[in-house]
Structure 1
């Protein structure tokens, strides 16, 4: 008996008892569906987080120079000198001065406590990939003159000024600022989101905070140069402080790589847990196939008496088990893909099943069916034809 004939017999056997076949496949369906759903959701979440970091720029290096406890200091001119000397590595630089306080538009009822106020340079928009919807960004002239100008996010522009923010005035800790630009919407334009922000010249921010500028953002020409850029900054700062505890350098690309590695490990753990369902499904197939061998003992005896060999009997039952698990795998893939896409839309991520996840799930489901179908097939093949014909 050939493979084609054995496959036709397997399909006939499954169609003859649809309910039992479905219950046999249920474990495989749940297992494959669970793997597809979990892998799709994790890949969707990883993609969203990676995209978020890429929007901020994976070629950026965040440098914090505290210098607390040291008699030595590094000022803005020193950092800019480092940048000027290594323009083949660095694309740009910007100090970053965080201003704590309240943004108001004239009255106490218009206070915005959650709005992030940051002092930056004229290069910050390029470094952080900020796009203007209206007006302009901070200029070099604003820095030298310590101008009180501001670039606001879409939340403030829409909430306070009804979309017409350029030229309007708002107050930061009581200091009036003229809005010269509005950023394009990046998030959901709600309070506390990425759109609830306000940028002013870092020179003005430093004057308002009465503090030394400690935070800087470097951008390399390419993310592949991040390691070289980190080494240059580290060497320069270590030469001053002789102690790495006085500064920190954060590589955005390393953060992204670590995040992807972590989510990859989480995916493997979740897939392993979901894989238990596949194991249970395989055991279910084995049990049903053992029952099928018992029910078809006389059939096996007749086939052997007509000349069927041991390998023919084994092939029939192994193919039947593999067909059962393969069909369950297909149903599981369809079920898992549908649920994954629906859940992805519900939570706002792109959870589309990858080809690798589908191929892996289907391959494992077929392997489990064949593996667990071998024992019943071997039992059927070893039956004595005389004893099998006598079986009632």
Structure 2
């Protein structure tokens, strides 16, 4: 089987599986318990927090919160920041191409009295720092911009945005980094990021374990009630085995990031060249295939206008190739991709997108098999094309 859906979830690393199993077997006590077994679990929890801090220069262990994943991290960050900063102003700036866990959360805050500006992206899927700066008002208290778009892989100018917000000391900057950790270099301090979300299952770790960086100057409002764990911001008994395994997954992914990016950009280049040879398929997002460009190394998104994307996905699956349409959180919706529409693409193209996202197990051979299969699938589908008026 050829698994090209790494943006949805990644195969767990073997060492991560073994670590999680070992912790589950040996350290099952509640880390809030006062007895020795409980304190051993607590020590593992805090050691994992220190490991995470060591992976992100300039951060301390106490800056990191353990959550159940990226969606929860985004919710805690945005709602917690908005409610704590309401006295400074109730205006939020975000982008129209955010993951649903950010986009829908901002929609909810609108119903609670906040004003939200949703910035559109250009044809490559990038929102400019100029646009962010122009949207700021004296009521802006929070800016939330993802690092890498989860559908088309566009890289947002996080460092530039952060530097422009630096002179506006009362504005908090949140970044959804779920798709960038382990794929791109990340400098939280240099980019002036106040809140940063990540999740382990995108980097070979377990599901149900996420991260939220909180700048020490911030005091977030509580979103949940019922316990004092994780500073009261994420109450509930901590999942120690998943957290320890997640810390290992993040370490393995971040330490190998430079080599991974170089290799994956080469694969991305080969796949784009393949798409260029199939006239029916149209690349969405940037064509960049190098570090510092507008595209992440591991994502290629294309459309087949006139064809339903699930038809392509299922035909590829018949040949043991697993891909996806929109983000996993939105894949069951029949609506056109909000991301593609907000990039200014026509509805027909936004209704036919397919995402390919690869990982460490892929090489030239896997890309060649995908390309040859795509060519065959398109030839079979050509007679079925339907164009919108």
Shorter-chain TM-score range: under 0.3
Higher helix share: 1
Larger Rg: 1
Task: State the TM-score, normalizing by the size of structure 1.
Answer: 0.23
